[in-house]
Amino acid sequence: MKIAVTADVHLVPGSDGHPERLAALRDILGRLPGLGVEQLIIAGDLFDRAPQGYGEFDALCEQHSAITIDVIPGNHDANLADGHLVADNVTVHTQPQLVQRDGRQVLFAPYIKGAKMGEVISDFSEELEKGRWILVGHGNYGGGLRTPDPREPGVYMPLSNRDIAHSQPALVLLGHIHLPTDQPPVHYPGSPCGLDVSETGIRRFLVVDTEDATPTPHAIHSDVIFFHEHFVVLPGAGECNRLREEIPRRIEEWSLAPDIHQRVRVRIEAEGYCENREQIRNVLAEGFSGFTCHDGAPRIDNLSVNDNPNLVKLANRLRAQIDEVDWKWGDGEPQREDVLLKALAIVYQAELSP
């Protein structure tokens, strides 16, 4: 048996309430039959806030009546109850529940304010088949993930490495973190459609084969794909040419087919120091002219003008040294652009000293 998993849809009702989020869920449901999948799990935060838009979700589910849908409430829809949704193929698990799925135990652990996921697991410890059961929950995993959603500070229904070591699940599927994240046995499918420009790139859902508890990612064909491109500019005769060379490389890294370019909304930012701010803005606008600019135009508020030749030489020497470093250090570590900006701040502040 194969089971699809998504989370953090954050539906908002009405045509002005981010219809692309419902469209992303519609894409998932429409593709499941072709993947041989008859069940979908939504691991929390199906809805964003009240009013919830239950009717739109019900109507979508009724259009895909052959798909069985299990929903657990998340922290955004913690008051969701089974009677709130009327589609016959939908079950809301408002309380922790252990069910069988093709010979696998699946423990549904909905969000409970103030609770820890380990406490929920312990209530079922005598029933769980260690090494074979699957946990579906909504909360924070404390196994090294250092990029939680900045809009929701704090810890929500935490799951620890100790919980995992003690209970030995074969697989853990969590909602709450919108960034698609894999730290086996823990997997966050991520939000199926970016909620804003901070949630970039092609999104995904997971398909789990119950035979070996292996999750496989599948790209979602969402109506909106966000990207955020940030450039650190250094002054000099070649500043515009460097940008012209860099922009196509950034776009290539998106790995998008040309026929979906119209779905892109890209935030374009430049900061640092230059000789001509207007030229930089125009180069950025021209380079991304085939895409929708999220803010209407490139953002250059933090781009300053400074053409001191001595500082230009020093800044470019620093950039060359920084470029020689391998910055692929993983989650939470400094990025090349961050270090370069810190170095530039030191260089150009030095000009103000007597």
8 Å CB contact between 154 and 191: no
* Distance from C-alpha of 299 to C-alpha of 339, rounded to nearest angstrom: 20
Total Cβ atoms within 10 A of residue 281: 18
**Ordered per-residue pLDDT tens for the chain, 354 residues:** 999 999 999 998 876 678 999 999 999 999 999 999 999 999 999 999 866 778 999 999 999 999 999 999 999 998 898 789 999 999 999 999 999 998 899 999 999 999 999 999 999 999 999 999 999 999 999 854 445 566 676 789 999 999 999 999 999 999 999 999 999 999 999 999 999 999 999 999 999 999 999 999 999 999 999 999 999 888 777 889 989 999 999 999 999 999 999 999 999 999 988 888 999 999 999 999 999 999 999 999 999 887 777 877 787 788 788 888 887 766 667 777 778 878 877 877 754 444
Query: What pTM was computed for the model?
Result: 0.88
* Phi and psi at residue 162, to the nearest 5°: -65, -40
Query: What pLDDT is recorded for position 31?
Result: 97
Residues in the chain: 354
Query: What pLDDT is recorded for position 14?
Result: 73
For each of the domains in the chain, give its residue range(s) and CATH number, in order of start: 2-219 (3.60.21.10), 225-350 (no CATH)
> 3-state SS of the chain: helix, strand, coil percent to 5?
30, 25, 45
Q: What is the dihedral of CA 213, 216, 222, 225, to 10 degrees?
A: 120
Give the chain's radius of gyration (CA, Å). Answer: 24
8 Å CB contact between 5 and 173: yes
Total Cβ atoms within 10 A of residue 26: 17
Query: What pLDDT is recorded for position 223?
Result: 93
Cis check: omega of the bond before 192, within 30 degrees of 0 = no
CA 353 to chain centre: 43
